[in-house]
Chain A
Amino acid sequence: MIDHRPDPDALLEKVQRAEAQRRRGRLKIFFGASAGVGKTFGMLLAARERRAEGLDVVAGYVETHKRVETHQLLEGLEILPPRLVEYRNTQLQEFDLDAALKRHPALILVDELAHTNAPGSRHPKRWQDVEELLDAGIDVYTAINVQHIESLNDVVSQITGIPVWETVPDAVLEKADEIELIDLPPDELLQRLKEGKVYLPQQAERAAQNFFRKGNLIALRELALRRTADRVDAQMRDYREDNAIKDVWQVKERILACIGPGGSSENLVRATYRLAQLLRAEWIVVYVETTKLQHLSREQRDAILRTLKLAEELGAETVTLGGHQLADEVIAYARTRNASRIVLGKPTYVGWRRWLHGSLVDTIVRQADDIDIHVVGKESNFLAQAKATPYFSRSRLYLGLGSDEQRPLLKWQPDYLWAITASAISTAIAWLMFEHVDLANLIMVYLLGVVVVAARYGRGPSVLASVLSVLLFDVFFVPPRFSIAVSDTQYLITFAIMLLVALVISGMTANTRHQAKIAGLRERRITSLYALSRELAATRGEVNVLNIAVKHVADVFEAQAVILLTDANGHIVYPRDEGAPQSAHGSDLSVAQWVFDHGQMAGQGTDTLPGGDMVYLPLTAPSGVKGVLALLSLNPNRLALPEQQRLLETFTSQIALALERVRLAAEAHNTQLKMETEQLRNALLSAISHDLRTPLAAIVGASSSLVRDGERLPVQARYELSQAIYDEATRMSGLANNLLDMARLQSGGVVLNRQWQPLEEVVGGALAGMSARLLGHPVSVRLPHDLPLVEIDSMLIERVFANLLENAVKYTPSGTAINISAESSLGEVIVTVADHGQGIPLGEEKRIFEKFHRVANEGNQGGAGLGLTICRSIVEAHCGKIWADNTSEGGAAFHFALPLGEAPPEIEQEEIAGS
Chain B
Amino acid sequence: MNHSATIIVVEDEAQIRRFLRSALDTEGYQVVEAETGKQGLADAATRKPDLVILDLGLPDMDGIEVVKALRTWTSVPIVILSARSQENDKIAALDAGADDYLVKPFGVGELLARIRVALRHVSSVAGDGNEGLFAVDELKVDMIHRKVMVGDAEVHLTPIEYRLLTVLIKHAGKVLTHQALLKEVWGPSYVERAHYLRIYMGNLRHKLEKDPARPRFLLTEVGVGYRLAVI
Contacts and interface: CB of A to CB of B under 8 A. Distances in A.
A523 interface: no
Contacts of B152: none
Q: Which of A733, A756, A764, A795 has most B Cβ within 10 Å?
A: A764
Contacts of B156: 913, 915
Nearest to A906: B195
Contact of A764 (B84, B162, B212): B212
Given A760-B213, A781-B211, A789-B199, A914 B222 contact: no
Interface of B: 84-85, 87, 105, 107, 156-160, 162, 193-196, 198-199, 201-202, 205, 211-215, 219-223
A765 B225 CA distance: 11
A795 B223 contact: yes
A728 to B, nearest CB: 12
Contacts of A737: 84
Contacts of B105: 729-730, 733
A805 to B, nearest CB: 12
A753 B215 CA distance: 24
15 contacts: A726-B107, A730-B105, A733-B105, A756-B194, A761-B220, A764-B215, A779-B214, A781-B213, A781-B214, A798-B222, A820-B213, A907-B196, A910-B160, A913-B157, A914-B158
B182 to A, nearest CB: 12
A887 B229 CA distance: 37
A783 interface: yes
A783 B202 CA distance: 13
A666 to B, nearest CB: 33
A913 B198 contact: no
Given A760-B205, A761-B220, 9 more contacts: A756-B195, A756-B198, A757-B198, A758-B198, A781-B211, A789-B195, A905-B195, A907-B193, A907-B199
Given A781-B211, A794-B222, A795-B87, A755 B194 contact: yes
Contacts of A915: 156
A757 to B, nearest CB: 6
B22 to A, nearest CB: 13
Contacts of B199: 758, 789, 907
A768 B213 CA distance: 9
Q: Which of A726, A730, A761, A766 has most B Cβ within 10 Å?
A: A761
Given A781-B211, A781-B214, A913 B201 contact: no
B145 to A, nearest CB: 13
Interface string A831-866: 000000000000000000000000000000000000
Contacts of A761: 198, 201-202, 220
Nearest to B213: A781
Contacts of B196: 907
Interface in A858-915: 904-905, 907, 910-911, 913-915
B26 to A, nearest CB: 14
Contact of B195 (A740, A753, A904): A904
Nearest to A781: B213
Contacts of B194: 755-756
A762 B222 contact: yes
A769 B199 CA distance: 22
Interface in A766-803: 766-769, 779, 781, 783, 789, 794-795, 798
Q: Which of B87, B202, B222 has most A Cβ within 10 Å?
A: B222
B84 A783 contact: no
Q: How many A residues are at the interface, by size bracket?
A: 35 or more
A731 to B, nearest CB: 11
Given A761-B198, A764-B212, A913 B158 contact: yes
A756 B105 CA distance: 30
B202 A914 contact: no
A815 B199 CA distance: 34
Given A763-B213, A768-B220, A798-B222, A910 B202 contact: no
Nearest to B159: A914
Nearest to B85: A740
Interface string A793-828: 011001000000000000000000000100000000
Given A907-B195, A910-B158, A910-B160, A760 B222 contact: no
Nearest to B105: A733
A637 B198 CA distance: 76
Contacts of A769: 222
Contact of A795 (B157, B195, B219, B222): B222
Given A756-B195, A761-B201, A789-B195, A767 B160 contact: no
B195 A764 contact: no
Nearest to B146: A914
A16 to B, nearest CB: 59
Contacts of A904: 195
A564 to B, nearest CB: 44
A765 B220 CA distance: 6
A914 B87 CA distance: 37
Contacts of B214: 764, 767-768, 779, 781
Contacts of B198: 755-758, 761, 789
A914 B195 contact: no
A27 B124 CA distance: 100
Contact of B159 (A753, A757, A910): A910
Contacts of B222: 762, 765-766, 769, 794-795, 798
Nearest to B222: A765
A213 B158 CA distance: 126
Contacts of B162: 914
Contacts of A779: 214
- 5 closest A-B pairs by CB: A765-B222, A756-B195, A781-B213, A795-B223, A914-B159
B53 to A, nearest CB: 20
Contacts of A798: 222-223
A768 B219 contact: yes
Nearest to B194: A755
Given A762-B222, A798-B222, A914-B162, A755 B201 contact: no
Nearest to B206: A785
Contacts of A729: 105
Contacts of B219: 768
Nearest to A799: B222
Contact of B202 (A740, A760, A911): A760
A268 to B, nearest CB: 82
A904 B222 CA distance: 20
Q: Which of B194, B195, B199, B215 has most A Cβ within 10 Å?
A: B195
B108 to A, nearest CB: 10
B37 to A, nearest CB: 25
Contacts of A781: 211, 213-214
Interface string A720-753: 0000001001100100010010000000000001
Nearest to B88: A753
Contact of A758 (B84, B158, B202, B215): B202
A139 to B, nearest CB: 63
A710 to B, nearest CB: 14
B88 to A, nearest CB: 9
Nearest to A730: B105
Q: Which of A726, A783, A907 has most B Cβ within 10 Å?
A: A907
B198 to A, nearest CB: 6
Interface in A607-632: none
A726 B219 CA distance: 25
Contacts of B201: 761
A750 to B, nearest CB: 12
Contacts of B85: 740
A905 B160 CA distance: 19
Contacts of B157: 913-914
Q: Which of A737, A768, A769, A915 has most B Cβ within 10 Å?
A: A768
Nearest to A802: B222
A768 B198 CA distance: 17
A765 B175 CA distance: 14
Nearest to A760: B213
A761 to B, nearest CB: 5
A768 B162 CA distance: 24
A767 B194 CA distance: 22
